[in-house]
Structure 1
Amino acid sequence: MLHTPSGGADNGTAATGNGPMSIGVVLNVLREEFPEVTISKIRFLESEGLIEPQRTPSGYRKFSRRDVERLGHVLRMQRDHYLPLKVIREHLDALERGEEVRLPSLGRPRDPGEGEPLGDLLGETDSASVARIARDELLTATGISVEQLEEWESYGLVVPLPEGVYDAESITVATLVAELGRHGIEPRHLRVMKAAADREAGLVDQVVAPLRLHRNPQTRAHAEARAKELAGLAVKLHAALIQSALGVRLP
């Protein structure tokens, strides 16, 4: 829930009560929940058509309470669901038209300790291994181009299944690769992450492989549970190592 402060300044312009707010005041409001947000981020979301603040005769932006609430929704959907801006825009526009829509859970993050998939296609499946996504569906869900997908496939970041379709995790991967790209990290830079992930997956598979080959169905089911548990621990360790190396604490 966003709370509008009673005042603030930006280029000498203040906002009080529920009146128009300057971009500096909006930044202070949003930082209560989104400490990493910047003025550049707000301007970028405006350029992408997510908000349309009014302008004063001298060109300063003036944000309404509705603009701030919409910004909060956008940032929340990016943070909690890793949704691309195209999907977020369509979702918010549908809500404003009064349509009853359900927020897709593409790339929805979970607690790594749970060992669960990071994204389930539209929240419909219990396992990422069940969902299969056609190529055009993947492009639509992530908002990327055919050229981008082909480049990412060439680096092994997104891998189609033998049938030419993709698993549900491909949505998460593609969305995160696109987000990293907006920060200047190119797909070729991510090959080291892909290689590390493959090695970690191989280590987990080495541990659980004997259980998967067992005759007893319960033992095989236990193998899958063990694989999820180990994967969750590996993700936590990976994050902790990166934080330690950078000397930062992730939210």
Structure 2
Amino acid sequence: MAERSAAAARRPATAAASLLSIGQVLAKLSPEFPDLTPSKLRFLEERQLIAPSRTESGYRKFSPTDVDRLRFVLTMQRDHYLPLKVIRGYLDELDAGRTPSLPLGGAVPAPSMLATERRYSRDELVREAGATSALLGDAVTASLIAPSETYGDDALQVLRSLVELQRSGIEPRHLRGFRAAAERELGLIESALIPVSRRNDPSSRARAAELAVEIAGQLEIVRSSLIRSALGRLQS
């Protein structure tokens, strides 16, 4: 504790002022990651994915680098379904000064290089995707994109794909079954999480959230394999 106090005393006032509390971190990242909670922050710290500093009273304080690292971890979980042990291995390699790769088809930018997700208005989303307002409306009606005041990069990617599919004669209404399939997968995930979810404590809830992402990733692998296999039969 004495060493920590000495380090805090040597820290420049500007650096100390830039440190954020848990509440401030949640306020900063919740627009991008609505499921982020204090329990999940503590869980990620327990798994040694983040290492915030502590005040003399024991309160966690997060630097801008900590926030970048946290955003990276959450992005890899949400967008690429990577298990925490894989993300931690990558970060350990990065901390050691190496240039590691994740199983994403290439190198991944360091946490500090990840930009905050941009938000798009309806008109901006349509313009960026090269779509029409009618196509976006059809996508919302078909439950392929959730209605919202603003949209993120995920919605942009979906709408861009729908533009390309439309050129091949595939309309959003043809994809209504995708939502039903997603709901069935969600049911499988929820059933698998029952043993963990029954333990209603912060650590178990965080573990359930991590396990849900891992299961979704495994289901995605099976689905992609089935599609590739079907395409192979079609081409032959």
User: In which range does the TM-score fall when normalised by the shorter chain?
Assistant: 0.3 to 0.5
TM-score, L = length of structure 1: 0.43
TM-score, L = length of structure 2: 0.45
